[in-house]
């Protein structure tokens, strides 16, 4: 078990069949036409930052690595594929192809931007180079794993930034999209900067700290709130955060304080109270005052109730003295933006003579049109180590050329020079073998938090786009028929 992936520990089997039917029919077409091993390059990128955030936090690579390491068609998979028929009722795939699939091993080169990195639209988060069939067939699994994780890590970063210095607890399990939706989101939310999760399975697999309070049902099972707090305190004197709104919030706070005093006589303390409904701003102020007056100045106030970064910001602006935020539904699903529209596009393919041909998907909108060629992203820093610019450039050029053109406004700027830089895409697999040291989850989280700080400092001045060569190349492709 690694700390950064769970597919192989959670799931019973290999996942080559995490694919759309058309990947298999295309694979069959490539194989029938002798194109299966044609060297090709695919790039995975997204077109718009989620939630209107200035960047996204690239996340999911750990899962993608695990998936690729496990890539293999099982005997059951092959039987299933053999059972599929075409429009004429005849088998879709012939036996030679099924035998080929059963022997298929993943042999591509993979480059990727490390998890936890702040990234921008049109930058390849993953670049896959290898035999056409293999590079194509992994599309949906990679998109599934990267899209969702990147979405949730970015959402988490927004939530964490809304309450600097406070604790953010991810409470989303019950509203997540499937059991694995919850597990994947807990991992991504932690990378984005959350401090803990309520999800025990995520705690077990990823060693993410787990936190929680108790449910209304605890109080309801006693019928008497004070007795219920006493029952909790006698069982777990070292874990008392009381939910105070089951019947009446003010009475709940009074009861919590009463049991808090009793806790102190046994050498423990009231860790916190939790507000889960009503006017959280007003109630937290009342609660703070009541707690302080009773000498519980260190008792935390935890709030929950359909929170997201906007409602948290609003409460912070009101001066709500809340220290800990439990964020569920909006964080675990992305809320009103429930998907990152990442795509995986063929960028280049070798011709019969072994020369690379660039390919694009055309669109009436130049911004939406894919960028031709095989790309690297170079990030420039100023002397203080603050990011200045990201340039997408054609890998064959070795170096970015002259100017940076911002795609969203067409503005050209000189490339920073001389300036320290790093190339963001690093080797992950070489001919199907892992050549990357997968970081521990806490390291990924630290990188993400560090990146958020860097890009807070970079602010308005940071620019990203294509170098002059790639921009001109794209224009030429757009005009070609």
Q: Least separation, in Å, of the C-beta of 18 and a copy of itself?
A: 5
**216, 275 contact by CB (below 8 A):** no
Which of 4, 42, 119, 189 is close enough to bind a copy of itself by CB under 8 A? 42
**57, 150 contact by CB (below 8 A):** yes
Verify binding: residue 25, a copy of itself, rule CB under 8 A: yes
Pick from 140, 148, 113, 145: nearest CA to 127: 113
Q: Which is nearer to a copy of itself, 350 or 382 (CB)?
A: 350
User: CB under 8 Å to 459, separation ≥6 — which residues?
Assistant: none
Q: Least separation, in Å, of the C-beta of 210 and a copy of itself?
A: 4
Verify binding: residue 48, a copy of itself, rule CB under 8 A: no
Which of 147, 167, 299, 323 is close enough to bind a copy of itself by CB under 8 A? 147
Verify binding: residue 185, a copy of itself, rule CB under 8 A: yes
For helices 139-162 and 61-70, angle between their N-to-C axes, nearest 10 degrees: 160
Pick from 108, 70, 106, 77: nearest CA to 93: 77
Verify binding: residue 176, a copy of itself, rule CB under 8 A: yes
Q: Which is nearer to a copy of itself, 153 or 404 (CB)?
A: 153
Which of 127, 158, 214, 468 is close enough to bind a copy of itself by CB under 8 A? 214
How far is residue 291's CA from residue 15's CA, in Å, rounded to a whole number?
53
- Torsion sign over Cα 123, 129, 133, 134: negative
Binding to a copy of itself, residues 186-205 (CB under 8 A): 198-201, 203-204
CA angle, corner 363, sides to 358 and 367, nearest 5?
Answer: 85
Binding to a copy of itself, residues 228-247 (CB under 8 A): 231-232, 234-236, 238-239, 246-247
Q: Least separation, in Å, of the C-beta of 198 and a copy of itself?
A: 4
Beta bridge partners of 103: none
Q: Least separation, in Å, of the C-beta of 353 and a copy of itself?
A: 14
Verify binding: residue 182, a copy of itself, rule CB under 8 A: yes
Which of 99, 221, 431, 450 is close enough to bind a copy of itself by CB under 8 A? 221
Q: Which is nearer to a copy of itself, 8 or 161 (CB)?
A: 8
Which of 70, 161, 310, 329 is close enough to bind a copy of itself by CB under 8 A? 329
Burial of 357-371, coded b for 16+ CB within 10 Å and e otherwise, reads ebbbeeeeeeeeebb
User: CB under 8 Å to 36, separation ≥6 — which residues?
Assistant: 27, 30, 100, 131, 132, 133
Binding to a copy of itself, residues 247-286 (CB under 8 A): 247-248, 268-269, 271, 277-278
CA angle, corner 46, sides to 397 and 351, nearest 5?
Answer: 45
Binding to a copy of itself, residues 358-397 (CB under 8 A): 359-364
How far is residue 41's CA from residue 85's CA, in Å, rounded to a whole number?
31
In angstroms, what CA-CA distances link 269 with 166, 225, 343, 374?
20, 18, 52, 59
Verify binding: residue 356, a copy of itself, rule CB under 8 A: no
Considering only 109-117, 167-175, 282-290, 418-426, which stretch makes contact with a copy of itself by CB under 8 A?
167-175
Considering only 157-165, 181-189, 404-412, 419-427, which stretch makes contact with a copy of itself by CB under 8 A?
181-189
How far is residue 414's CA from residue 404's CA, in Å, rounded to a whole number?
6
Q: Least separation, in Å, of the C-beta of 430 and a copy of itself?
A: 23
Q: Which is nearer to a copy of itself, 208 or 405 (CB)?
A: 208
Give the x/- contact pattern for a copy of itself in 64-103, rule: CB under 8 A: ------------xx--xx--x-xxx-x-x-----------
Token digits of residue 312: 């948290």
Which of 215, 412, 426, 435 is close enough to bind a copy of itself by CB under 8 A? 215
Considering only 28-36, 108-116, 405-413, 422-430, which stretch makes contact with a copy of itself by CB under 8 A?
28-36
Which of 317, 336, 409, 417 is close enough to bind a copy of itself by CB under 8 A? 336
Considering only 282-290, 312-320, 335-343, 406-414, which stretch makes contact with a copy of itself by CB under 8 A?
335-343
Helix (H, G, I), strand (E, B) or coil at 218: helix
Question: Residue 46, class by beta-carbon neighbours within 10 Å (0-12 exposed, 13-18 middle, 19+ buried)?
Answer: buried
Pick from 134, 65, 68: nearest CA to 100: 134
How far is residue 290's CA from residue 457's CA, in Å, rounded to a whole number?
39
- Residue found by looking up tokens 């889960």 in the block: 276
Q: Least separation, in Å, of the C-beta of 443 and a copy of itself?
A: 21
DSSP 8-state code for residue 91: B
How far is residue 24's CA from residue 291's CA, in Å, rounded to a whole number?
63
Considering only 9-17, 120-128, 307-315, 453-461, which stretch makes contact with a copy of itself by CB under 8 A?
9-17
For helices 249-265 and 280-293, angle between their N-to-C axes, nearest 10 degrees: 30
Question: Residue 314, class by beta-carbon neighbours within 10 Å (0-12 exposed, 13-18 middle, 19+ buried)?
Answer: middle
Q: Which is nearer to a copy of itself, 203 or 432 (CB)?
A: 203
Which of 155, 195, 211, 445 is close enough to bind a copy of itself by CB under 8 A? 211
Verify binding: residue 433, a copy of itself, rule CB under 8 A: no
Binding to a copy of itself, residues 108-137 (CB under 8 A): 132, 136
């Amino acid at each position: 078990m690694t700390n950064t992936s769970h597919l192989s520990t959670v799931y019973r089997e290999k996942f080559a069949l995490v694919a759309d039917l058309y990947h298999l029919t295309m694979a069959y077409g490539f194989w029938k036409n002798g194109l299966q091993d044609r060297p090709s390059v695919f790039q995975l990128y997204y077109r718009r930052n989620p939630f209107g955030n200035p960047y996204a936090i690239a996340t999911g690579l750990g899962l993608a690595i695990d998936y690729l390491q496990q890539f293999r068609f099982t005997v059951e998979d092959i039987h299933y594929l053999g059972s599929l028929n075409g429009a004429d009722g005849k088998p879709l795939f012939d036996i030679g192809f099924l035998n080929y699939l059963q022997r298929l091993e993943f042999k591509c080169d993979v480059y990727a931007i490390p998890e936890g990195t702040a990234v921008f639209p049109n930058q390849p988060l993953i670049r896959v180079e290898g035999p056409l069939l293999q590079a194509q067939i992994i599309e949906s699994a990679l998109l599934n794993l990267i899209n969702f994780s990147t979405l949730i890590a970015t959402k988490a970063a927004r939530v964490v930034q809304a309450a600097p210095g406070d604790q953010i607890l991810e409470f989303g399990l019950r509203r997540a999209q499937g059991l694995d939706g919850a597990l994947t989101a807990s991992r991504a939310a932690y990378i984005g900067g959350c401090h803990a999760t309520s999800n025990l399975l995520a705690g077990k697999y990823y060693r993410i700290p787990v936190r929680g309070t108790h449910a209304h049902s605890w109080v309801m099972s006693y019928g008497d709130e004070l007795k219920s707090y006493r029952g909790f305190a006698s069982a777990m004197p070292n874990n008392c955060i009381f939910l105070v709104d089951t019947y009446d919030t003010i009475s709940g706070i009074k009861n919590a304080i009463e049991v808090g005093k009793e806790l102190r006589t046994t050498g423990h303390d009231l860790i916190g109270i939790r507000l889960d409904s009503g006017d959280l701003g007003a109630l937290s102020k009342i609660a703070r005052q009541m707690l302080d007056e009773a000498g519980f100045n260190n008792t935390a106030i935890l709030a929950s109730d359909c929170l997201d970064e906007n409602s948290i910001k609003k409460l912070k602006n009101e001066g709500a003295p809340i220290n800990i935020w439990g964020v569920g539904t909006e964080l675990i699903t992305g809320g009103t933006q429930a998907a990152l529209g990442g795509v995986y596009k063929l960028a280049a393919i070798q011709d019969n003579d072994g020369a690379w041909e660039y390919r694009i998907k055309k669109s009436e909108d130049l911004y939406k049109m894919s960028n031709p060629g095989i790309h690297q992203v170079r990030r420039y820093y100023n002397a203080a180590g603050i990011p200045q610019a990201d340039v997408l450039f054609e890998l064959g050029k070795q170096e970015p050329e002259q100017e940076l053109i911002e795609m969203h406004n067409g503005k050209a700027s000189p490339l920073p020079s001389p300036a320290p830089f790093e190339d963001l895409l690093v080797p992950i697999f070489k001919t199907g073998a892992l050549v990357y040291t997968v970081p521990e989850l806490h390291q990924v989280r630290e990188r993400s938090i560090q990146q958020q700080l860097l890009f807070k400092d970079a602010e308005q001045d940071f620019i990203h786009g294509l170098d002059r060569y790639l921009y001109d190349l794209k224009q030429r492709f757009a005009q070609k028929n």
